[in-house]
């Protein structure tokens, strides 16, 4: 009984949303089919930075610290797997206790990697200067309105019904591709089985 009641309420909610959507649309106005990644027309998105950073990672033993300079994901723990080792730092050595491959560091910074404040101050203290300006991903990203204006069209926010129709179209296309892949796999399997049957003596 609970299942039937839930099903009835879901159907009523869908019908109410469909009526409201039709009422909100002006008669004769056609909405373009949105792309798969269509988003509402909002202000220009904020620039976001790369998840990779360049920082120190502690190794060594108790009372004998030793650090590596790593290009590593920010979400990794202290001794996590690094993308690349860029140098070393020995705080107990008397002379030239830091060794770093500066061109590789600058290459990572150009890709958007962020240098940790501790490492930046350490490099500055030892005379290393990072000349590369960090690249911020999404800094010059255009909004849907700007893209439509360049194409000479007016961007219209897609309706819920248009989004559902587009999702159904993508789902049907994926289903057809999956059926083709299964059929090709079955044909290849049957083709391999025929020579084996022919080679088996009667």
User: pLDDT tens-digit profile of 82-141?
Assistant: 888 899 999 888 877 888 888 888 888 888 888 888 888 888 888 888 765 555 555 555
Same domain, 62 and 118: yes
Mean residue pLDDT of the chain comes to 75
Instruction: Kindly state the average pLDDT of the residues 23-29.
Output: 51
The verdict on residue 39 lying in a domain is no
Sign of CA dihedral 175, 180, 186, 189: negative
Same domain, 153 and 119: no
Least confident of 24-38, 67-81, 102-116: 24-38
Question: For residue 58, what pLDDT band results from cuts at 50, 70 and 90?
Answer: confident
Same domain, 76 and 112: yes
pLDDT at site 42 = 47
Give the residue from 173, 152, 160 showing the smallest Cα distance to 38. 160
Same domain, 56 and 110: yes
Domain's final residue, options 91, 125, 159 = 125
The verdict on residue 133 lying in a domain is no
Domain region containing 188: 143-196
Q: Pick the residue with more confidence: 162 or 95? A: 162
Same domain, 98 and 157: no
The verdict on residue 118 lying in a domain is yes
What letters, b where the CB count within 10 A reaches 16 and e where it falls short, cover 6-17?
Answer: eeeeeeeeeeee
Question: Do you know the residue count of the chain?
Answer: 202
The verdict on residue 4 lying in a domain is no
The verdict on residue 37 lying in a domain is no
The verdict on residue 32 lying in a domain is no
Count the domains in the chain: 2
Q: Pick the residue with more confidence: 68 or 28? A: 68
pLDDT at site 37 = 47
Instruction: For the full predicted model, state whether its pTM sits above 0.85.
Output: no
pLDDT at site 44 = 45
pLDDT at site 31 = 46
Same domain, 107 and 162: no
The verdict on residue 25 lying in a domain is no
The verdict on residue 157 lying in a domain is yes
Flag whether pLDDT at 11 surpasses 70.
Answer: no
Contacts of 153 (CB under 8 A, 6+ apart): none
pLDDT at site 131 = 67
What does the CA dihedral 166, 171, 175, 177 come to, rounded to 10 degrees?
A: 60
Same domain, 118 and 173: no
Kindly give the pairing relationship between strand 84-89 and strand 64-73. antiparallel
pLDDT at site 134 = 55
Residue 66: CATH number of its domain: 3.30.1320.10
């Amino acid at each position: 009984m609970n299942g039937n009641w839930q099903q009835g309420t879901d159907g009523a909610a869908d019908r109410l949303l469909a009526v409201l959507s039709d009422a909100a649309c002006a008669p004769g106005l056609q909405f373009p089919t949105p792309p798969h990644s269509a988003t509402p027309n909002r202000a220009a998105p904020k620039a976001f930075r790369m998840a990779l950073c360049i920082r120190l990672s502690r190794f060594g033993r108790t009372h004998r610290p030793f650090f590596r300079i790593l290009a590593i994901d920010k979400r990794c723990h202290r001794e996590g797997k690094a993308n690349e080792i860029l140098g070393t730092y020995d705080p107990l050595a008397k002379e030239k206790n830091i060794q770093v491959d500066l061109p590789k560091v600058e290459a990572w910074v150009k890709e958007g990697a962020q240098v940790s404040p501790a490492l930046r101050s350490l490099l500055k203290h030892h005379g290393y200067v990072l000349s590369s300006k960090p690249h911020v991903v999404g800094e010059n990203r255009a909004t849907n309105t700007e893209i439509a204006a360049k194409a000479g069209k007016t961007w219209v926010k897609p309706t819920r019904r248009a989004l559902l129709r587009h999702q159904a179209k993508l789902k049907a296309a994926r289903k057809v591709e999956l059926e083709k892949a299964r059929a090709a796999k079955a044909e290849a399997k049957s083709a391999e089985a025929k020579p084996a049957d022919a080679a088996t003596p009667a």
